[in-house]
Amino acid sequence: MKRIICTTCLLLTLFTSNALAQVKNTFDTIMTQVYEQYRKEFVSEKEDGYITKLLSTLQPDGSWEDIGYSKTDIAEWQPIAHLDHLKTMALAYVGKSKWHDDTELRNAIINALQFWYTKDPHSKNWWHNEIDVPQHLGELLIILRQSKNKIPSTLEDSLIERMKRGDIYKQTGANKLDVATHYIYRAALTANAGLMDSSVKEVFEPISFTDKEGLQYDNSFMQHGKQLQISSYGSVFIGGEYKVAAFLRNTRYALGGEQLKMLSTYYLNTYMKALRGGYSDFNIEGRGISRVDMLNKKHEQGRLKLAAMVDQANNNEWEAVMARTNGKQAPSFKLKPSHTHFYCADYTLHTQPDYSFNVRMVSNRTKRTESGNGENLIGKFLPDGATNIQVKGDEYYNIMPVWEWDKIPGTTERDYADDQLTTVFWGEVGSMPFAGGVSDSSYGVSAYDMNYNGVTAKKSWFFFDKEVVCLGAGINCKEVESITTTINQCWLKGAIEVEGDKVKGGGIISSEHPSWIRHDGVGYYFLEKEKVFLSTIKQTGDWYHINHSTPKKVQSGEVFKLWINHGANPSNAHYAYVVVPNANKNTLDDLKANLKIIANTEAVQMVRNEALDITEAVLYKPATITVGEEVISIDKPCILMIRDTQKATKKLYIADPTQLETEGTINIANHKTNASKVYTIHFPKGNKAGASILVEVE
Ligand code: CA
């Protein structure tokens, strides 16, 4: 009996110590991988001199004179520089540098850490207090754990205690991920398996579809309510998830399976497709559109390497996107054509090897682009059908301070003398149910029933491979300002051709009814008479006037600005133009031969592309349309696309942009044979409401 008990005790002891050793190994692996990630940030040749400077400027109390520790600024919060300095010092102390294991540096680190603990600086922005600081502290302590001569445990313990800020369970989306990241640091530092289990579950929880904030069922990303944030908060989501996934790889906490697939699908098929080469679509940045250099994504490389490390199955894809974003290959490199309408987010991506043409809309289900924290102060018209047209990629890079903000490319607005300040902050809910798109993954149509700021307009975009047709109808406004539809407002590059005549920069030209204008490789074609204005003058603006968190910095340059003037008090005005990103001398003839605008009214907008054998239509109300020999009646508002119209079996793609309908009836009658058929459509519901469905019709 006695012996049996002893054996059990021994086995239990062995088992427990083995398990403990395993847990410790796992946490050590995680901390090593965290350190390995940050170690890359330290370049010893460059930083050695920097350390000398930090040491010589560190005051006896452990502070730096040039940091305002009492500052509480919301966006650019000065005190965080203290922890950034400490991180560089810790990396020098631990890693391969002449400061490795240096006593003076160690004492300085301890002194500065002690100062931070005692001072405990706070920002008015909760994000700094509950995310930024605890993350910095966790990273610092993990880096310092790698040293032979560790910092005093009492100091470490009190700083770990200080990390206990932010509630993982109260946050959602990108914010939850950020809080969970420092929980994981703390769990590793304290070898707390229970805390690690729950934190890992929470850190990967945002990689799940939600109808609230976060990753949407259409693979878009929304935050601050139903607001498009594919970059901005979506970028924080990608960066954070891959970062943590890289820390946790090769351990039992590693990300895999369906969640890894979802994360990579978002990064590759949503986020990366909203980039052209190394520059993002201005529509995906949220209020960050007003920040300097925001569209430049050359820094994407580090994150792409992390993704490739975590998701090795997609290596070819990662290599292709790396080469496109770092400029080593052309923006078209291994880029396949695709078309996606994000029915949760009211956003459309049309990606072609030669160009991107994306549209941002809004409905009463989503929010307009936000202004807040003093940022994006005059961006109130951004979601009214903004069209991002990129060929090279840098067409809009840092143009925002000089933009005339009531002439956002693609939008129809009142033309004010001055920029209009946003008065509703953090996103204003849209007013109309009708905003959506139909797609077969290659082609599509999107449409937006606009009613904002006293302007109504029915705006639609018909996407093919060489061109995008932009239609507007039912444009009304009772206010005093002229109403304009802006075709583009991008940096002026090279000469402009107006029907073959070269136009030099520097002026404003009114052209009554041009048939085409070409600039920077992109052709703009007018298939009906339009009163077109072109400005090429130098525009100047200060970043500060669009973003009060940005230092005063003037930007200027010549701008290609092309718009249609519908005049003041328009009644049922309309427009039609075609954007051809790689136009040549045959384009006009090709368009005339292949493209037909069949309808452009406030009831129906309809375009046929003969070469592709596609007919696309937007029905703002129940209507009857004719496609070849068929007369098609539909009893619900919808957006549709019919392919193979000449064949016996046609492909009809249909979507409900109002997301209110459950069922519809399509009646197809042949006007030659009088034969007719009736099809009942069951529109997708719930999380798929607004998605396209295919009906094969005869
Ligand atoms: Ca104006």
With left for phi above 0 and alpha for psi between -120 and 50, is residue 15 left, alpha or beta?
Answer: alpha
How many whole angstroms from 345 Cα to the centroid of ligand 1?
Answer: 28
Any catalytic annotation for residue 182?
no
Q: How far, in Å, CA of 291 to CA of 314, rounded?
A: 32
The DSSP 8-state label assigned to residue 293 in this structure reads T
Of 512, 455, 507, 510, which Cα lies nearest the Cα of 481?
Answer: 455
The helix, strand and coil proportions of the chain, stated in percent and rounded to the nearest 5, come to 35, 30, 40
Triad 94, 99, 101: Cα angle to 5°: 55
How many whole angstroms from 422 Cα to the centroid of ligand 1?
Answer: 15
How many whole angstroms from 236 Cα to the centroid of ligand 1?
Answer: 34
How many whole angstroms from 483 Cα to the centroid of ligand 1?
Answer: 10
Please tell me the total number of residues recorded for the chain in this structure.
698
b/e for 1-34, b at 16 or more Cβ within 10 A? Answer: eeeeeeeeeeeeeeeeeeeeeeeeebbebbbbbb
Interacting residues of 228 by C-beta distance below 8 A, sequence separation 6+? 220, 221, 222, 283, 284, 286, 345, 346, 347, 360, 366, 369, 383
Q: Which pair of tokens denotes residue 452?
A: 């904002």
- Give the chain's end-to-end CA distance (angstroms, integer): 85
**Number of helices and strands in the chain (H, E):** 14, 33
How many whole angstroms from 414 Cα to the centroid of ligand 1?
Answer: 7
152 CB neighbour count, 10 Å cutoff: 11
Triad 625, 410, 553: Cα angle to 5°: 170
Tokens 């392919």 identify what position?
643
Of 489, 566, 37, 54, which Cα lies nearest the Cα of 305?
Answer: 37
| Identity of the amino acid at 689 | A
How many whole angstroms from 575 Cα to the centroid of ligand 1?
Answer: 19
Q: What is the pLDDT of residue 512?
A: 75
Q: What is the pLDDT of residue 513?
A: 86
Work out the burial of residue 301: count CB atoms within 10 Å of its CB; fewer than 13 is exposed, 13-18 middle, 19 or more buried. middle
Catalytic site residue from 183, 233, 343, 347: 233
Q: How far, in Å, CA of 496 to CA of 28, rounded?
A: 62
How many whole angstroms from 406 Cα to the centroid of ligand 1?
Answer: 5
Catalytic site residue from 100, 122, 224, 548: 224
Q: Rounded to a whole number, what is the largest CA-CA distance in the chain?
A: 106
Torsion of CA 177, 183, 185, 187, to 10 degrees: -140
Give the pLDDT means over successive 10-residue stretches in the chain (698 positions). 47 59 86 93 80 96 97 91 96 93 97 98 96 98 95 97 95 87 97 96 94 95 96 94 95 95 98 98 98 95 95 96 96 98 98 98 98 95 98 98 98 97 94 98 98 98 98 98 98 92 72 89 92 94 95 95 97 98 92 96 98 97 94 97 91 98 96 92 97 95
Q: What is the pLDDT of residue 3?
A: 44
SS3 at position 355: strand
How many whole angstroms from 196 Cα to the centroid of ligand 1?
Answer: 55
How many whole angstroms from 540 Cα to the centroid of ligand 1?
Answer: 14
b/e for 347-362, b at 16 or more Cβ within 10 A? Answer: bbbbbbeebbbbbbbb
SS3 at position 576: strand
How many whole angstroms from 186 Cα to the centroid of ligand 1?
Answer: 53
How many whole angstroms from 410 Cα to the centroid of ligand 1?
Answer: 14
Q: How far, in Å, CA of 339 to CA of 236, rounded?
A: 25
Any catalytic annotation for residue 287?
yes
Any catalytic annotation for residue 620?
no
How many whole angstroms from 576 Cα to the centroid of ligand 1?
Answer: 21
Task: Check: CB of residue 238 under 8 Å from CB of residue 263.
Answer: yes
Of the options 2.70.98.10, 1.10.1780.10, 3.40.630.40, 3.90.1310.10, the CATH number for the domain spanning 338-697:
2.70.98.10
Q: How far, in Å, CA of 421 to CA of 381, rounded?
A: 10
Q: Which pair of tokens denotes residue 275?
A: 């980039």
Q: How far, in Å, CA of 558 to CA of 686, rounded?
A: 47
Q: Which pair of tokens denotes residue 224?
A: 């601050």
Q: How far, in Å, CA of 12 to CA of 492, rounded?
A: 76
Q: What is the pLDDT of residue 271?
A: 98
Catalytic site residue from 82, 85, 106, 287: 287
Tokens 């496109």 identify what position?
324
How many whole angstroms from 296 Cα to the centroid of ligand 1?
Answer: 27
How many whole angstroms from 565 Cα to the centroid of ligand 1?
Answer: 11
How many whole angstroms from 419 Cα to the centroid of ligand 1?
Answer: 7
Task: Check: CB of residue 614 under 8 Å from CB of residue 644.
Answer: no
